[in-house]
């Protein structure tokens, strides 16, 4: 049965999933990129960005699994870009260039309508204005027999946790203290939602923890 998953989501030791003050210069918030040190050097990331080489092993395996087996993705508006409010024009098409890494229908949560954007590699961005439940229903329909990934950011993951919609979470806990930013689990009781730790694997750069429900 297809699942709704969070995979490859980086978290600091002090529980932040993004740094503060996201901007064009800091897509993950200030110092947010430090949480992805485990991923940036892998073969998977380098291939995604048109480079050769890169490390293999634990981090690469988790990085590859974070982007495979999904028939649809859901993103928050902030993860799609730094623009707030009404879309000023159609120029912004995401952080990733002409060929985003999703290669599947990708549903962006927003309060402001916008026509779908077809990108290279099979990614089409659909902008959903009628809420998280509608986005999830559309993503499940588009994914068919494949899983749906809640790709982020923090606010989006929190909304789907509160909805009880997430079946599994794979987190990469990075050895970084951010001090401030967006707290992933503030006021969220994971055991009460049915989650328990199913797997813990440590690498040199992160501890990969899998949480499952039920």
In this prediction, residue 107 carries a pLDDT of 98
Q: What is the dihedral of CA 10, 189, 71, 112, to 10 degrees?
A: -90
In this prediction, residue 1 carries a pLDDT of 87
pLDDT tens for the chain, residues 1 to 214:
899 999 999 999 999 999 999 888 899 999 999 999 999 999 999 998 889 999 999 999 999 999 999 999 999 999 999 999 999 999 999 999 999 999 999 999 999 999 999 999 999 999 999 999 999 999 999 999 999 999 999 999 999 999 999 999 999 999 999 999 999 999 999 999 999 999 999 999 999 999 999 8
Domain segments of the chain as ranges: 15-58+166-214, 70-83+97-145
How far apart CA 110 and CA 129 sit, in angstroms, is: 5
In this prediction, residue 50 carries a pLDDT of 85
**Nearest to residue 95, comparing CAs of 147, 42, 32?**
32
Q: CA dist 19 to 14, 136, 154, Å? A: 11, 26, 10
How far apart CA 198 and CA 31 sit, in angstroms, is: 29
């Amino acid at each position: 049965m297809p699942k709704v998953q969070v995979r490859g989501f980086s978290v600091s030791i002090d529980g932040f999933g993004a740094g503060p003050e996201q901007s064009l210069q800091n897509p993950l918030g200030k110092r947010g990129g430090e949480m992805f040190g485990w991923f940036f050097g892998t073969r998977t990331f380098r291939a995604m960005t048109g480079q050769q080489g890169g490390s293999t092993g634990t981090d690469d395996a988790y990085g590859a699994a974070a982007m495979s087996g999904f028939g649809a993705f859901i993103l928050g508006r902030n993860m799609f870009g730094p623009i707030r409010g009404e879309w000023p024009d159609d120029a912004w098409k995401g952080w990733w260039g002409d060929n985003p890494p999703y290669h599947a229908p990708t549903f962006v949560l927003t309060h402001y309508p916008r026509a779908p954007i077809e990108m290279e590699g099979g990614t089409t961005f659909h902008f959903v204005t009628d809420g998280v439940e509608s986005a999830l229903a559309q993503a499940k329909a588009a994914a068919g027999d494949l899983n749906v990934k809640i790709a982020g950011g923090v606010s989006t993951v929190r909304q789907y946790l509160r909805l009880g919609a997430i079946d599994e979470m794979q987190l990469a806990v990075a050895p970084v203290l951010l001090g401030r930013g967006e707290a992933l689990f503030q006021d969220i009781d994971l055991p009460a939602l049915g989650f328990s730790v199913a797997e813990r694997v440590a690498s040199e750069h992160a501890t990969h923890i899998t949480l499952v429900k039920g």
